């Protein structure tokens, strides 16, 4: 379990609220959404009120995702081996659940990422004796076992305190947060300096919320894309203007100078275009924030950007010949169209714009 410095937080997607009668479909959906981990909450009805699943069910989950097992159980020492055997890649237990947390950590094999979790009422200092053994500190933003709770307001302060302890240790320990993360706040949580976020939803919704956070936080927005991607970026820019945002198409004579507080939002479906790479460099040097939407997150353009929005769709870079539904084997532009519609709807909801106000911003030359 690793994370490059400055990278976006990893997502561990929970299945507690999944449709267990159609778990195969649910797992496929989470995999296709690009989650980093599959998060499984194990509750024993004693440490917290609910009773969920055990190692047999976890072992039966057939997925290509790494299994992130969160034990909310009393006295985990004698029980962790069964969860390791069930396929745990990450195993996290609560410091409140045992008098011997070091022994629990030491009982886990090196193939498993060893995590410790903290309830909201537990002092953050409780992790200090454990950071020499732990590889993950998971801060809960809700009290475990009760549904419908909001993200506790003191969580950011607790995350900052945990980060200070980790940095003083000099070890490469990951910091995660679990509970109360929604479409509305996932972008803000991602900016709290965490390495891992546990969510109960994944895919386009999360990416759309991240993009909405970036766009709404910008003073000024410039969009750019080439070819058919450029048409989609222009269409989005038009929607942003209708929503009352200060949005422009890069390359137009009326596009203002970008600087600090502004965003350059570009598309690089195959991972890079020379013009996209050049514009990213210009914007970065001017102090603007850069966002790339792409189907190839390992490409050069995403590596140049501050934020990467990953749309999982085939581009010409993936085309190896044969039959294709669309010309030149690219589905990426169609995915952009749908994704940008989702973004536009979310932005309208979050800004409170009325349809009348948006229509009032149409021009007679559109």
Q: Where in the sequence numbering do the catalytic residues fall? A: 41, 178
Q: Where are the alpha helices (DSSP H) in 41-192?
A: 55-60, 80-85, 101-107, 155-169, 186-190
Distance of CA 30 to the CA centre of its chain: 12
Two structure tokens written together for 224? 């750019």
**Which residues 6+ apart lie within 8 Å of 68 measured at CB?**
12, 37, 38, 39, 40, 88, 89, 90, 92, 198
Query: Do 248 and 223 form a contact (C-beta atoms < 8 A)?
Result: yes
Sheet holding 221-224, edge to edge: 247-249, 221-224, 263-267, 289-294, 307-310
Burial class (CB in 10 A: 0-12, 13-18, 19+), 161: middle
Query: Do 96 and 50 form a contact (C-beta atoms < 8 A)?
Result: no
Query: Do 161 and 137 form a contact (C-beta atoms < 8 A)?
Result: no
Give the angle 339-342-344 at the CA atoms, nearest 5°. 110
Two structure tokens written together for 280? 């990213």
- Which CA distances in Å does 37 have to 11, 70, 295? 6, 12, 20
Query: Do 1 and 89 form a contact (C-beta atoms < 8 A)?
Result: yes
Two structure tokens written together for 135? 């590889």
Tokens 């980093």 belong to residue? 36
SS3 content of the chain, % helix, strand, coil (to 5): 40, 20, 40
Instruction: Give kind and range of the element (H or E) at residue 340.
Output: helix 332-351
């Amino acid at each position: 379990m690793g994370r490059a410095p400055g990278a976006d937080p990893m997502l561990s997607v929970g299945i507690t609220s999944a449709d267990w009668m159609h778990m195969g479909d649910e797992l496929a959906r989470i995999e296709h959404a690009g989650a980093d981990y599959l998060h499984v909450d194990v509750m024993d009805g004693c440490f917290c009120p609910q009773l969920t699943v055990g190692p047999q069910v976890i072992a039966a989950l057939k997925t290509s995702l790494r299994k992130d097992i969160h034990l909310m159980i009393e006295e985990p020492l004698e029980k962790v081996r069964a969860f390791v055997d069930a396929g745990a890649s990450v195993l996290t237990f609560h410091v409140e659940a045992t008098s011997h947390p070091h022994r629990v950590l030491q009982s886990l094999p090196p193939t498993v990422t060893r995590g410790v979790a903290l309830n909201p009422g537990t002092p953050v200092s409780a992790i200090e004796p454990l950071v020499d053994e732990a590889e993950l500190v998971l801060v809960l933003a809700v009290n475990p076992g009760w549904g419908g709770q909001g993200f506790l307001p003191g969580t950011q302060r607790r995350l900052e305190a945990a980060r200070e302890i980790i940095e003083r240790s000099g070890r490469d320990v990951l910091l995660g947060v679990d509970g109360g993360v929604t479409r509305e706040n996932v972008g803000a949580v991602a900016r709290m300096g965490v390495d891992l976020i546990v969510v109960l939803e994944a895919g386009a919704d999360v990416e759309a919320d991240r993009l909405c956070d970036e766009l709404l936080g910008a003073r000024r927005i410039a969009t750019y894309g080439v070819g058919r991607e450029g048409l989609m970026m222009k269409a989005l820019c038009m929607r942003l203007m209708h929503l009352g945002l200060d949005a422009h198409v890069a390359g137009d004579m009326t596009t203002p100078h970008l600087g600090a507080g502004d965003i350059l939002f570009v598309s690089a479906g195959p991972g890079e275009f020379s013009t996209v790479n050049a514009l990213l460099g210009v914007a970065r040097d001017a102090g603007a924030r850069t966002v790339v939407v792409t189907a190839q997150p390992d490409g050069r353009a995403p590596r140049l950007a501050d934020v990467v929005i990953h749309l999982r769709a085939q581009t010409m870079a993936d085309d190896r010949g044969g039959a294709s539904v669309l010309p030149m084997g690219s589905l990426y532009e169609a995915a952009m169209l749908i994704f940008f519609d989702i973004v536009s709807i979310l932005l309208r909801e979050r800004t409170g714009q009325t349809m009348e106000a948006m229509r009032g911003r149409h021009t007679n030359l559109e």
